[in-house]
Structure 1
Amino acid sequence: MPNACWVHCFLHRQALAAKACPQEYSQVLNIAIKIVNSIKGKALQTRLFRITCEDMGALHQNLLYHTEVRWLSKGKVLAGIMELRAELLIYLQQVKSEYSEFICDPEFLLKLAFLSDLFDHLNILNKSLQGRNENVITAKDKIRDFTKKIDLWSSSLNQNNFDAFSSTQYFTEEVGCEVNIKTYITGMKMVLDNLKEDLCHYFSEQEISENTGQRWIINPFLNAAINEASLPNKLKENLLEISADGMLHLEFKFSNLDTFWLMRKTEYPELTTEALKCLIPFATSYLCKLTFSSMAQIKVYKEIA
């Protein structure tokens, strides 16, 4: 199959890259997960913790259970601990848990807050890579943009700027002088550096380099994209004809990318073929999982019926 194309799922590679973590932060992560799973793993403990939260008037009464299969669920798990840390401390002290010392340790909580913020960013990236209209070109752009954000965050940390890490900023303001934040910036930057290094490992520089030669697929009405298009002159002429057509421009605004190019198949077969080479490959396994989910719902419905 000379025209076959293989694409490793962007979601799987992004999740693998997110697993990298220096030892001191990895230990914080593991302890946090053990705390949650010690409560969520037993019905009685879960009920007692919920009662504690209700008595204290907490907005939420439950922690999310962590599963290794859905590795990025750590983001929600850590956010839950930070939100309910006061209730969690009281509960752990009541049951005389060895983990209570960690919840009242400002250093532990600072690292936990940073990890919570970072995994929140990763979850946002993960969700943005999913969807019916996602393609390889847009997925590459999002991964490349995320690596640039990491550089920005690292640079901001040098200036004690935590705008990108809201939980960390809130916690440092809350504890005040109890923690010297400057002593932890090096470790935070190391976490970011490791993440970027692993992203570059799973997504090569060549793979996520600027898609300048393919931008015409995303927007065939952009003059700069037409000039940069890596196409023979004959196909560039076809592209110029499309860009000059006002009706097609209007159609482009109100239709998705796949449909627009498929509608050009009859009039511009060669140009459409070039566009579909980038649009047809799945960037992620999202559509496959969506199908499995639909099948599971049908199966459950039939069993109930």
Structure 2
Amino acid sequence: MSENIAKNVHQKLNNKIFALQIDESTDISGKAQLMGFVRLINGDSIINQFLFCQELSGRTTGKEIFDCVDNFFKNSNLSWNFCTGICTDGAPAMVGNEKGFWTYAKQKNADIITTHIIHREALVAKTLPTELISVLEDVIKIVNYIKSRPLKSRLFKELCDSMEANYNCLLLHSEVRWLSRGRVLARAYELREELCVFFKEETTMGEKEKRRILKTQQFYDCLSNELWCAKLAYLEHTFSHLNHLNSSLQGRHENILTSTDKLTAFSNKLCLWSKKVGENNLEMFAKIPDGNSLVKSHLDTLQQAVAKYFPSIHIEKHDWIRNPFTGNTSYSNLCLEEEEELISLSSDRTLKLKYSELPLNTFWISIHDEYPKLFKRAISIFQFSTSYLCELGFSTLTTIKNNKRSQLKNVEDELRVALSTIKPNIEEITKHRQSHISH
């Protein structure tokens, strides 16, 4: 079935434009696996399809990654000239200016558009001032104190149940998980009253254990401090918005246009919040006594981080793709032939009616033959904006190649069958097989 799916995919990719998404990770046996997905045109729609999973035997530098992908392209008769975009994570091996995978790929096709949004968004979340970092560290210490001790966890659960709290346990923090900090803060803020009662009891119960009392007393002092709790509320609110943004950027059908819209909206919200805080309006946050300057300073820093990691967040030059019938047919990023095609397209009232009835990507695919140059430029923007599919693929790899199957050598066939959107042609597979006649 895997061979049949691969054959069908290669036929659909033959002399057709496509976008590539790749990422590298280590499996259960310590082997480096390079996974690739492709976004291609299938009929009148755009689909995502698993392409390959190749083992990297040596180093995982940009050169080795490129050689692996390039060899796959040669063996599959695929051309770099038809690759319109590449999406990876932000690792130096991928995005390095001199020896990164992007650099080698652009030597094959200089017009390739490169993106990696999701990891830059995670970096934005690390722009915390010292005062807020200390609150975050205190929360992590509080959580670890309870979660690392089974008895404390059971006692805290009983306390939460007796107080009829919405939750009865805390969440552990994991630095490698993008959403972890926001969820840990949200749960700690939700259970702050229960935590305060728990540590107050801990302080009074163990008078002989001075060292433990000192630690629990520090936790109680934090949780009973109004300003500390206000800062915790602000952190929880901020990270909940970051988590919402992060989650919204992940999805099978995300592209540059949709992701940029969400990032632009978040950037504009930061501007609005900063303006309101400057006017002493903390309606969107928990009230922080004498903390307006801290909040405004952090919001301004967050704005600067967004501008730093997303310098091309505004792409009004691609508005003609969203709506080619606005009347504006002069764009600096279009060549003369493309502008001429855009003028003809925007003047066609039949296509304008068609545009209002069809999804955006379907509309552009439908005019492929009539406006080929404009179509090629427009369809390239529908490429991947995040490495979501690769992350999903590695989760499937973990399920397939587990502790009991750690010596599984060729996982590509199993992954292709598990992850492919193109179904195998069962009739074609079985017509060369002799059915078994029962006795």
Please give the TM-score of this superposition, normalised by the length of structure 1: 0.82
Unpaired segments of 5 or more residues in structure 2? Answer: 1-107, 204-215, 406-439
For 1:53, the equivalent position in structure 2 comes to: 160
* Distance in 2, Cα, partners of 1:91 & 1:188: 30
For 2:55, the equivalent position in structure 1 comes to: none
Aligned pairs for 1:191-270 within 5 A: 191-204=298-311, 207-208=312-313, 210-224=314-328, 226-228=329-331, 230-243=333-346, 248-249=351-352, 252-253=355-356, 255-270=358-373
Counterpart residue type for residue 373 of structure 2: E
TM-aligned CA distance change 1:291 to 1:254, over 3 Å: farther
Q: Which has the larger radius of gyration?
A: 2
Q: SS of 2:260's equivalent?
A: helix
For 1:189, the equivalent position in structure 2 comes to: 296
Unpaired segments of 5 or more residues in structure 1? Answer: 173-178
> Among residues 369, 373, 393, which one is paired with 1:291 in the alignment?
393
* Distance in 2, Cα, partners of 1:255 & 1:62: 48
8 A Cα contact 2:331 2:339, kept in partner:
no
* Distance in 1, Cα, partners of 2:263 & 2:129: 22
8 A Cα contact 2:267 2:303, kept in partner:
yes
Counterpart residue type for residue 325 of structure 2: F
Q: SS of 2:262's equivalent?
A: helix
TM-aligned CA distance change 1:73 to 1:223, over 3 Å: farther
Q: SS of 1:188's equivalent?
A: helix
Q: Which moved more, 1:96-105 or 1:124-133?
A: 124-133
* Distance in 2, Cα, partners of 1:91 & 1:211: 52
Aligned pairs for 1:1-305 within 5 A: 1-3=108-110, 5=112, 7-96=114-203, 97-98=216-217, 99-165=219-285, 168=286, 172=287, 181=289, 183-204=290-311, 207-208=312-313, 210-224=314-328, 226-228=329-331, 230-243=333-346, 248-249=351-352, 252-253=355-356, 255-280=358-383, 282-297=384-399
Please give the TM-score of this superposition, normalised by the length of structure 2: 0.59
* Distance in 1, Cα, partners of 2:276 & 2:143: 32
| 1:210-232 residue CA offsets vs partner (Å, 9 max, x unmatched) | 322211112223334x4547424
Q: SS of 1:7's equivalent?
A: strand
Q: Over aligned residue pairs, what C-alpha RMSD do you find?
A: 2.6
| 1:52-109 residue CA offsets vs partner (Å, 9 max, x unmatched) | 1100011222222211011432112112122111111111222332311111110100
TM-aligned CA distance change 1:198 to 1:296, over 3 Å: same
TM-aligned CA distance change 1:16 to 1:199, over 3 Å: same
* Distance in 2, Cα, partners of 1:244 & 1:128: 36
Greater fraction of residues in strand: 2
Greater fraction of residues in helix: 1
* Distance in 1, Cα, partners of 2:236 & 2:124: 16
Q: State the number of aligned residues.
A: 284
